[in-house]
């Protein structure tokens, strides 16, 4: 069971862009090995930052509008939104970078 919430093209605006505070979105796909590698890391960060950050996952195979809108060309891509505005990103399964960005933006 994941600690991250699933978002779609249909509810992205309500769940992420209207969220007050930090929202972190993992753009992933079931066939993506590196995406599966970082999933447990994001689940753990969702627990550690509960109340400080909302962690969400968006499947790029079933939701094509949102990745196109944010020019996601490679997965995994993790986008960081603060009060609905895109403020940062990490491309690839780089655990240290992901953890650093959480610390930086959840403060």
- Given 35, 42, 56, 75, the catalytic residue: 35
- Given 7, 22, 24, 32, the catalytic residue: 32
Between the CA of residue 103 and those of 3, 6, 38, 80, what are the distances in Å? Answer: 18, 22, 17, 12
32 is catalytic: yes
35 is catalytic: yes
Q: Which residues are catalytic?
A: 32, 35
């Amino acid at each position: 069971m994941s600690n991250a919430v699933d978002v779609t093209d249909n509810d992205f605006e309500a769940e992420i862009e209207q969220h007050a505070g930090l929202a972190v979105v993992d753009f992933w796909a079931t066939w993506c090995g590196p995406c599966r590698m970082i999933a447990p890391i994001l689940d753990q960060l969702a627990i550690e930052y509960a109340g400080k950050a909302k962690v969400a996952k968006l499947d790029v195979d079933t939701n094509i509008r949102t990745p196109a809108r944010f020019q996601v060309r490679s997965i995994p891509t993790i986008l960081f939104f603060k009060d609905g505005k895109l403020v940062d990103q990490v491309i690839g399964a780089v655990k240290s970078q992901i953890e650093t960005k959480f610390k930086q933006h959840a403060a």
